[in-house]
Amino acid sequence: MNNSKSTDMITRRSVLKSGAIAFGSMVLPSSNFVMAATSNYGITGQIAPELQIDYWIDENGGPATFTLAEHEGKWVFLKCFQSWCPGCHSHGFPALKQISDALAGNPEIAFAGIQTVFEGRYTNTIDKVREIQLQYDLRMPMGHDPGPESGNPKTMVDYRTGGTPWMILINPDREVIFNDFGINVEKAIAFLVSQTS
């Protein structure tokens, strides 16, 4: 990582910890659910690009597909991860688990996890996707986006993610309204319940 990217990442994490808040194109009071920082990352306010991932498993580990087109008119919550990512294990997966469990069975929202391998290609392997799914009891489709032999995975490029853990929320009009590292779980649940009830 070059120095400017490293400094930007440190600044972003500092701002996240300080409680700066944004949601879609609106800046909201700190009591709202999304914890984000202004930066060059993300595509908030833009139309979500279709996912270009060849490997998916369903909640039981069997072959599956997951596209935004399949979930047209629904809210879509995506979680990007790497199996070796400490932040994914400390807060990313627990947040995903809490939010997806709270909204389980709601036909107006779809969840998916995506391993976006931008480093550690020989550690963050395809078999880790099912291991993570089982470890956190994630009852959702999960994909593996290894990207090219050198360079970043397509999901990371299309959504301009800043690493992992990374959360993306897409509204029923297919607009990306959240695209960042951290999220306030309780406020996110309350918001999604209010939007899908």
Mean pLDDT of 134-158: 94
Question: Tell me, what's the pLDDT at 17?
Answer: 36
Give me the chain's average pLDDT, please: 84
Q: What is the model's pLDDT at position 70?
A: 97
pTM, two decimals, is 0.81
Distance between CA atoms of residues 196 and 93, nearest Å = 23
For 78, the 3-state DSSP assignment is strand
For every residue of 116-174, DSSP letters joined together read E-SS-TTTS-HHHHHHHHHHTT--S-EEEE---SSS--HHHHHHT--SSSEEEEE-TTS
Q: Supply the pLDDT for residue 182.
A: 83
Q: What average pLDDT score do residues 28-46 get?
A: 59
Domains, the chain, with CATH or none: 39-196 (3.40.30.10)
In this predicted structure, what is the pLDDT of residue 181? 86
The answer on pLDDT for 96 being more than 90 is yes
Q: What are phi and psi of 18, to 5 degrees?
A: -75, -15
